[in-house]
Amino acid sequence: MKIPINLASQPFQRVRAMLLASLAVSLLLLATLGALVSLILTDRAQVAGVRQDIARLNGRLRQAQAEQARLAGVLTRPENAEVLERSVFINTLLYRKGISWTRIFSDLEKTVPYNVKIVQIRPTLDSNNQVALDMTVASETPEPAVQLLIALESSPLFGDVLEPQTQPPTQADPLYRCRLTVHYGQKL
């Protein structure tokens, strides 16, 4: 048996520190793997609970839709159509009656410049029960009407001004007229 004595052919290596560091990193990676597996299992259990809740809510939604379809079928019968039309008409009248003229004029008084006259005003309701004011205003010069448009658009009570149409003065009417529609924030 030959014993190698030449240290130059197999120099001494310090591998103990490298082995310990590799072992520590391996243990750290193993602990991270365990934490990720436990998180996955916990998440899977929570998702299963959420899926059950969604399935239960979808079932209730289907029941409500079936009930709504049944009730709509009852309402659309010929003997009930007249009552339905009458109730829709009465509800429309009640919504229109709910518009407060006092509040409209109070809010306009705060917004309209002093040198603008309101000639005509007509509130209307859209399909979402939002109030819109169809107005005709008059002034001696066009500048106050422009100031009114700016004041209406910058007011929190009124929305965008739609379709402003101006008419110059005539011999019979010496005032500039402006017809406009503005959304009004009155709650019904």
Q: Give the model's pLDDT for residue 1.
A: 61
Q: Give the model's pLDDT for residue 76.
A: 79
CATH class of 100-184: alpha beta
Q: Residue 72 — pLDDT band, cuts 50, 70, 90?
A: confident
Q: Give the model's pLDDT for residue 7.
A: 58
Q: Which residues pair with 125 in a beta bridge?
A: 131
pLDDT, tens only, 121-132: 998 877 777 888
Alpha-carbon distance 79 to 164, whole Å? Answer: 46
Alpha-carbon distance 72 to 34, whole Å? Answer: 56
Please report, for the chain, the start and end positions of each structural domain, with discontinuous segments joined by +: 15-76, 100-184
Residue 23 confidence (pLDDT) above 70: yes
DSSP conformational letter for 100: -
Asked whether 163 and 110 are in contact (CB, 8 A), the reply is no
Alpha-carbon distance 54 to 61, whole Å? Answer: 10
Q: Residue 187 — pLDDT band, cuts 50, 70, 90?
A: low
Q: 0.85 cut: is pTM over it?
A: no
pLDDT, tens only, 91-130: 877 777 778 888 888 888 988 888 999 999 998 877 777 8
Alpha-carbon distance 12 to 138, whole Å? Answer: 104
Residues written for the chain: 188
DSSP conformational letter for 99: S
**10 Å Cβ neighbour count for 133?**
22
Residues above pLDDT 70, as percent of the chain? 92
